[in-house]
Amino acid sequence: MSQKKALIVDDSTVTRLMIRKIILDKFPNWEILEADSADAAKTMVANHEDIDFFSLDQNMPGELSGLDLAEDLKKSYKNTKIILVTANIQDAIKNRAKSIGIDFVEKPVSPEKILPHLD
């Protein structure tokens, strides 16, 4: 089996480190990529087309939100698991995530909230 790859997109270094640890504790062989904005993530995706899992924050610096990025990613990664990990729990955000076809995870992050999306 080839090594899996995850991209964690969040402007919070602490959140990225927590999600990284949750993934690597369960799947120590996964390669973890990180970006601090949707714009940085788009650049990274252009150089790594074989990503198996995305964790996206909603509110980040730059032009694009996590949901905007998710819509872009879904065009190329139709069958790849994408989760929106955010403290923004408005119904409009949850509904848009559902309409895009991604899972909504409320911060703060925990293994119980992240791990079900990795299996």
Identify the band that residue 49 occupies on the pLDDT scale cut at 50, 70 and 90.
confident
Look at residue 1 and tell me whether its pLDDT is greater than 70.
no
Structure token digits, residue 27:
């799947």
Integer-rounded Cα radius of gyration of the chain: 13
Identify the band that residue 2 occupies on the pLDDT scale cut at 50, 70 and 90.
low
Look at residue 82 and tell me whether its pLDDT is greater than 80.
yes
Total number of domains constituting the chain: 1
Across the chain, the runs of DSSP E, i.e. the strands, are 5-9, 31-35, 53-56, 81-86, 103-106
The answer to whether 44 and 93 are in contact (CB under 8 A) is no
Residue-level pLDDT at 48: 84
Structure token digits, residue 4:
């899996």
DSSP H stretches of helix in 27-100: 38-47, 66-76, 91-100
The answer to whether 106 and 86 are in contact (CB under 8 A) is yes
The pTM assigned to this predicted structure is 0.96
Q: Output the domain CATH number for residue 88.
A: 3.40.50.2300
Range(s) of the domain holding residue 73 = 5-117
